[in-house]
Amino acid sequence: MYFIAENLREKFDNISIDVSFECEKGTMTSIVGASGSGKSTVLRLICGLDKPEPAQKIILDGIDITGEKPAKRKIGMVFQNHSLFNHLRVDDNVAYGLVSSGMRKKEARIVATDFLKAFGLAGFEKRYPNTLSGGEAQRVSLARTLIMKPKLVLFDEPLSALDAPLRKKLASLILTLQKTFDFTGIMVTHDINEAKAVSDKIILMKNGKIFWSGKSKDFDEKMMEDDFNLQI
């Protein structure tokens, strides 16, 4: 198995998270749950932003990364608010990781400019984040993440700030990019239709625990109780 998470545990508010799951290489898994179910905390534990408990184990591509610092885990992350650098042009935002890794800025800009074409952003390289729409900014964020060729990409509610038509369009783009670049992805969302549109596997969380896990095609909405409060 390409990605293995064992005993992801953390306590916050009145919730005790205790989660274990696996992902195959080149697949997309969605973790679905209502606000406060613990799904975003799971991502923080995976990427190393939250300190693990002793029993926790995270294996990525056969390597135990449990004790690695976030920057060493080869994990990319796409956030809800895109988190772009407002003082940098689009090409420099996308090239940021390459430059930080030692590539010359001029060369990195050329690579970033070419890379932007796959995201429908040709000609955007000299623009600044404050001139972009929400959907354009999120596509730049996707490009900035994927240009680094991460072994695992985490998506933290990447579409929730967008309107319904744009969410559908970008969900389709994420699915296309996932197949094109063959990355392994884990996305958290409260929208079950969004999860079904992009995922091979769905994990339904409630009160910090896995309520159901299986292939997207096998998900039955009748399983959800009224208090899941999910967007359907």
Q: Check residue 42 and give its pLDDT.
A: 95
Q: Check residue 9 and give its pLDDT.
A: 93
Q: How many residues does the chain have?
A: 232
Average pLDDT over residues 52-61: 91
Q: 33 is written with which tokens? A: 């749950």
Average pLDDT over residues 34-60: 91
Give domain 3-74+150-222's CATH architecture: 3-Layer(aba) Sandwich (3.40)
Q: 56 is written with which tokens? A: 């926790």
* Average pLDDT of the chain, as a whole number: 90
Residue ranges of alpha helices (H) inside the chain are 39-47, 90-100, 105-115, 134-146, 164-181, 192-198
Structural domain spans, the chain: 3-74+150-222
DSSP-assigned states of every residue in 38-83: SHHHHHHHHHTSSPPPTT-EEEETTEE-TTS-GGGS-EEEE-TT--
Q: Is the pLDDT of residue 232 over 50?
A: no
